[in-house]
Structure 1
Amino acid sequence: MRYHDITKDDMLNGDGLRVVLWISGCTHACEQCQNPITWDINDGLVFDEKAKTELFDILERDYISGITLSGGDPLHPQNREEVGKLIEEIKEKFPNKTIWCYTGFLYEEIEDLDFMPLIDVLVDGRFVIGLLDHQLHWRGSSNQRVIDVKETKALNKIVLHNS
């Protein structure tokens, strides 16, 4: 897995103050994407032990609410195995931190991934420039959903995250 950046103290990509891991790789190629530099799966830095240590050091801070995985698309098929392991390790080491994940895939396309129940909030769907709405919270276009994954799994129907 490769990544482009680790953003500390982010308030724009989920509830509270967060750390954001910007993962390389996306095949959706959404028109006017905010991060086209992250599309190439082979671009960016290797996510190695040094990067993981940096990420975990930030997550240890009391004032950090959790982590947001973005990109690119963290759920690009070539990223899924490593992203799944990272999510499992984060949940084990930081059980009180929330995990948010942005993806261009629809929830229904990825709901059966083994690590999906460990994600707290999933922002799904491709960005569609024709549906751009600057008033939306945590998403760019009105087709995207901010899904409470745990409630969705429990009730077996899509439950949107409220905040």
Structure 2
Amino acid sequence: MRYHNITKDDMLNGEGLRAVLWVSGCDHGCKGCHNSITWDPSGGIPFDAAAEKELFEAIDHDYISGVTLSGGDPLFMGNRQEMTALTKNIKERFPNKNIWLYTGYRWEEINTLPIMEYVDVLVDGRFVEDLKSAKLHWRGSSNQRIINVQKSLKNGSLYLYHAE
């Protein structure tokens, strides 16, 4: 897996102050994507032990609510195995932090993936430029949903996330 950046104090990509991992690789090709530089799976730099240490140090502060995984697409086929291992590791090391994941895939396509066991909130669906609005919170276009993953998995139906 490769990545482009680790943001250490983000307030736009999920609730609270967050660390964000921007991974490489996306095959959705959404028109108007704000981060098309991350589409190339061979772009960026390798996510190695030093990068993981940097991410964990960014998460390991009382004022950080959690981590957001974005990109590119964390669920790009070439990222799935490593992202699952990473989210499992984050949950084990930081059980009180939440994990948000942004993907162009729809919940119905990915809800059975093993990674979902570790994700708290999922923002799903491709970005649609014609549905873009600056008034939307935590998503780029109105077709995208903010999903409470654990409640959805537990109850077997989709539950949207509501900030507390």
1:131 aligns with: 131
CA distance in 2, matches of 1:13, 1:95: 20
**In 1: Cα distance, 2:129 partner to 2:43 partner:** 25
What's the counterpart of residue 120 of structure 2?
Answer: 120
1:31 aligns with 31
Spell out, residue by residue over 1:121-159, the C-alpha distance to the aligned partner (whole angstroms, 9 max, x if none): 000000001111111110011100000001111121111
CA positional deviation for 1:118: 1.1
TM-score, normalised by the number of residues in structure 1:
0.99
Structure 1 gaps of 5+ residues are none
Q: CA deviation at 1:62?
A: 0.9
Q: Show the 5 A alignment for 1:1-80.
A: 1-80=1-80
Which AA in structure 2 matches 1:130? D
Percent identical among aligned pairs is 58
Aligned length: 163
TM-align CA RMSD: 0.6
**Length-normalised TM-score, structure 2:** 0.98
Q: Using the alignment, how far apart are the partners of 2:133 and 2:93 within structure 1?
A: 37
Give the Å deviation of 1:14: 0.4
CA deviation after TM superposition for structure 1 residue 107, in Å: 0.7
- Say yes or no: does 1:104 pair with 2:134: no
Deviations 1:85-129 (A, max 9, x none): 000000000000000000000011011111202100000000001
Find the counterpart in structure 1 of residue 160 from structure 2.
160
